[in-house]
Amino acid sequence: MQRQERSVALEIMRGAFAAIWLPFTWAAEAPAAVVALVRRATRSRGEPGQAAHLARLNTGKWTRELLKHLEWRRLEELAAAYFEELGFRTGITHARADGAVDISLYAAGAESAGILVHCKAWDAYPIGIKSLRELRGAMSSANVAEGVMVTTGRFTPEAVGFAAKENIQLLDGAALLEKLAGLVPEKALALLKFATKGDFLTPTCPRCSIKMTARKSTREGRMFWGCTNYPRCKQTFSSATITPE
């Protein structure tokens, strides 16, 4: 009788271990495509903190807060669309080391660009003279006499002084908001819908042109943006806008 009871107990334990081990066995034998689908499904829930940021943003009208949260690539696209609404033809050149673009503006009927535009997304620190010198150098290389620097942030006094001497117009967050408000309502609304379509918060990897993902450093626990192609691409962005949910 005792032997029979021990035998039954052993069978129960074997069954329990088999049930526990089954998911690990399936994972080891699962096709790579299935595993990839599971990973994508997990990522589709959104990046940490992004849903909370989106919920707090009013995407029904242009505001400084909305402009501040536009990722850098979407800001470039918005700037190009804005100048097209003003009647310019735009040309995009991917020639900058940081992955950002030169936006060339052509007046109606002109064969050569008359204005060169650079954009800088919001940063806690004001845009300094370094970015203005980069724009001035690009203007010289393109043989363009006028430049525009667009940012959703602000500029340092040194940058303002440099721009005045070098024929560079500065559009900070307040000025850009004023320019958008100055458009006819239909155009302003069209640009608003364009700027807030899809994921306009998560930055784009400048090397791979794909959305980045929120990561956490193992040493300091600091949140940052990393490329989803890591380790093939090690591009990162620091960010104070990522908060774990």
Over 70: is that where the pLDDT of 242 sits? no
* AA identity, residue 58: N
Over 70: is that where the pLDDT of 214 sits? yes
Residue 44, classified by CB atoms within 10 Å of its CB into exposed (0-12), middle (13-18) or buried (19+), is exposed
More confidently predicted of 137 and 58: 137
Helices assigned H by DSSP within 112-225: 129-142, 157-165, 173-181, 185-195
Q: Where are the domains of the chain?
A: 2-43, 47-57+201-245, 60-195
Classified by CATH at the fold level, domain 47-57+201-245 comes out as N-terminal domain of TfIIb (2.20.25)
pLDDT digit string, tens, across residues 121-150: 998 899 999 999 999 999 999 999 999 999
pLDDT digit string, tens, across residues 151-183: 999 999 999 999 999 999 999 999 999 999 999
> What is this structure's pTM?
0.75
pLDDT at 219: 82
pLDDT digit string, tens, across residues 7-51: 544 454 454 444 434 343 333 433 443 333 333 333 433 455 566
**Architecture of the domain defined by 60-195:** 3-Layer(aba) Sandwich (3.40)
Q: What percent of the chain has pLDDT over 70?
A: 75
Instruction: Read off the pLDDT of each residue in 192-211 and give the average, rounded to a whole number.
Output: 94
Over 80: is that where the pLDDT of 55 sits? no
CA distance 185 to 239: 33
